[in-house]
Amino acid sequence: MSAPRNLAFALVISTTAAYADASNVIASDDFDSPINLISYSAVDFEGNDPTNTGVWSSGSDNFGPRSVADFTSGGTATGNFVSDTLIDRTSAGESDDRGIIPLDYVGNFFAIVDTDNGANDTGGVTGTWVFDISSAVEVTDFEVDMAAIGSWFDNGSAAERFVWSYSIDGGSVTDLLTVRGDASLGSVTYTMADGTTLVAPGNTAAGDDDNGVSVNGVALLNELTTLSAPLVGSGSELTLELFGFINDNGSGLAFDNVAIRGVAVPEPSTAVIGLIAGLLGVAVRRR
């Protein structure tokens, strides 16, 4: 009689399925303590590593992880385009006209400012993350906390932009989120910690050069906001890519907490294992 053995098998399926949770973080990178991150690399269009300030000679241009402490001298984060564009000093009662990250922000974040420079004339940059997703039955969602500041160029296909995409085990590449200068937004208001505002377009005569920023058509402002997009598939490695360019030392992006979510099936509990073993024992005795 094989019915009890089949029952035990059905129990394994049903109990493990009950433990499956699509909200599990399968892999992540918060630029402090990554989870299941196999590798990260960055390259500009000329083949340089943009995180190497010896190649990108200006410390005011950036494509890579930074912290508020990188720009703090005597208690004030100031002195270059990255800090002047991305650090919100009004959070400490200081005068400032633009920013995203408050002075008390803990840990690293990813900073993007003015990728077009003497070492990288086209401005193009690519960041690539490779995550181990072998523990997942399937991946379901991509998440990232992101914010923008400044006036971005929008000239249709030539608009300043950054595109998130992914692939699994060398398969086809699928776009996730497109961050771009977007004239269709009309007037966009960025609000600092103390209520100071910055409006884009600030100069309507600037035309293409002066626009707010959208993510898949929705305005992206200067407060870190969790964005998400669906993932489909399973495998061993997921490659996440961010490609784009921006050519303005007063505009930029910041993001943190990159996460790959999915369905992970943990080991059954001791009680479940005992129950299965008991049922299998019954099946053996009844043969």
The per-residue pLDDT string of the chain (287 residues; one tens digit each, 9 = 90 and over) reads 333 333 333 333 333 333 445 579 999 999 999 999 999 999 988 888 887 666 675 567 889 999 998 877 655 555 677 888 899 999 888 888 899 999 999 999 999 988 887 778 778 899 999 999 999 999 999 999 999 998 898 888 788 999 999 999 999 999 999 999 998 998 899 999 999 999 887 555 455 678 899 999 999 999 999 999 999 999 999 999 999 998 877 889 999 999 999 998 666 654 455 555 555 554 445 55
Q: What is the DSSP letter of 269?
A: P
CA distance 199 to 188: 6
What burial class does residue 271 get, using C-beta atoms within 10 Å of its C-beta: 0-12 exposed, 13-18 middle, 19+ buried?
Answer: exposed
51's CB contacts (< 8 A; 6+ apart) are 42, 63, 64, 65
- Count the Cβ atoms, other than its own, within 10 Å of residue 274: 11
What's residue 5's pLDDT?
35
**Structural domain contains residue 12:** no
Note the pLDDT of residue 53. 61
Cα-based distances in Å from 40 to 123, 164, 239: 20, 15, 10
Give the rounded distance of the alpha carbon of 90 from its chain centre. 25
Domain that holds residue 103: 21-264
Residue 11 domain-assigned (yes or no) = no
Distance, C-alpha 24 to centroid of its chain: 17
249, amino acid identity: N
**Is position 10 within any domain?**
no
Q: Is residue 29 part of a domain?
A: yes
| Single-letter code of the amino acid located at 87 | I
pLDDT digits (tens, 9 = 90+) for 49-79: 887 666 675 567 889 999 998 877 655 555 6
pLDDT of residue 71: 77
- How far is it, in rounded angstroms, from Cα 196 to Cα 274? 63
Residue 182: what pLDDT?
Answer: 92
Q: Is residue 189 part of a domain?
A: yes
Query: How much is the pLDDT for 3?
Result: 35
- Tell me, yes or no, if the pTM score tops 0.85: no
Say how many domains are in the chain. 1
Q: Does residue 7 fall inside a structural domain?
A: no
CB 140 within 8 A of CB 261: yes
Q: Quick check: is 13 in a domain?
A: no
Backbone angles phi, psi at 233, to 5 degrees: 130, 180
Residue 99 φ/ψ region, left for φ over 0, alpha for ψ in the -120 to 50 degree band, beta for the rest: left
Per-residue model confidence (pLDDT) at position 1: 37
What is the Cα–Cα distance from 149 to 191, expressed in whole angstroms? 10
**Domain assignment of residue 6, yes or no:** no
CA torsion through residues 72, 75, 79, 85, sign: positive
Distance between terminal CA atoms of the chain? Answer: 6
